[in-house]
Structure 1
Amino acid sequence: MKKIMVAVLALGVLSSGCKVFEKLKKDDGQTTDTMQEDTQAKVFSVPATTSDVRENPTSDRMYEEPEETEKPVRVQSETFTFAQKEDQIKNESSTYFVIIGSFSSNENANRYKQELIPQGFNPIVLHSETGYYRVCVNSYNEELEARKRVHQIRNNYPKYADTWLLIKK
């Protein structure tokens, strides 16, 4: 008889820890039909996203050419002298100089100057306080005009993409 009592007691302890019996205790009064509904998978619906279909898809951004972002203009301020007197007379009043090349030797700067003339430039050579010879293609009194010229050269002559602006001290 002790064995039967121990077996019933063990069955009672096991059944109280079982989830099936706990669910039955919670659902007091629910019928078996509603319990079956709870065990079935629930389906959720997600609202469909609206898509903008355009009549002319070539006007969409993905078909457009990417906008060119202008590389910032390098600006440097330094004191310099003109390599030739006639260049000094023409450009002495200017403050902003568009530099297309910079060389450590005067010969290389003059050779580069000669290469630029057939391309439509009117270059001059400036001797910087840093010891470099700067090949200048334009000079301006207004910074905005000088910056526009730098961008124009960069866009029209990709090989001169490193053109920069020198400001006279």
Structure 2
Amino acid sequence: MKTNDAHSLIKANFKLAKVLIVEDNDDHWILIKQAMQQCLSEVTPVRVATPEQALTLLNEWHYQEWEIPKLILLDLYLPTIQAGWELLEQIKKMPSPLNQIRIVMLSSSEVPSDILKAYQLGVSSYLVKPASFADWVTYFQELRAYWWETVSLPPTQYSF
């Protein structure tokens, strides 16, 4: 890829970039927010703490292209694992373009069956939550490199 093409791709990915973070743990939210400020300052984090808040916000954003996040970071335990699975399934059943938003599942679970189920239900990535702030920073540096500086994200497409 030519340098100008790569620069245009990165610029397009950052345009109005927003991440919806569904995290019920205030301590984890503080770590996520600080790591994002350090590594992804161009991206606006929007945090909700419950599945209901997430669905309400996504429904509000449905017809507002400029509001739709480029990525969702979804905690699996909200506070129960069942709540996380149900929210993931509900997002994937939403109308386009909401059901096309890339979802990164965050969890303290390293159980292989949880990881498999997350991918079967349509997550783009599964991350076992880091233990330290330094590890969160490393994660967000990698998130930046991959989701904003490497991949080509599709434009938001509405289906009426």
Q: Same fold (TM over 0.5)?
A: no
Q: TM-score, normalised by structure 2?
A: 0.26
Higher Cα Rg: structure 1 or 2?
1
TM-score (normalizing by structure 1)? 0.25
Higher helix share: 2
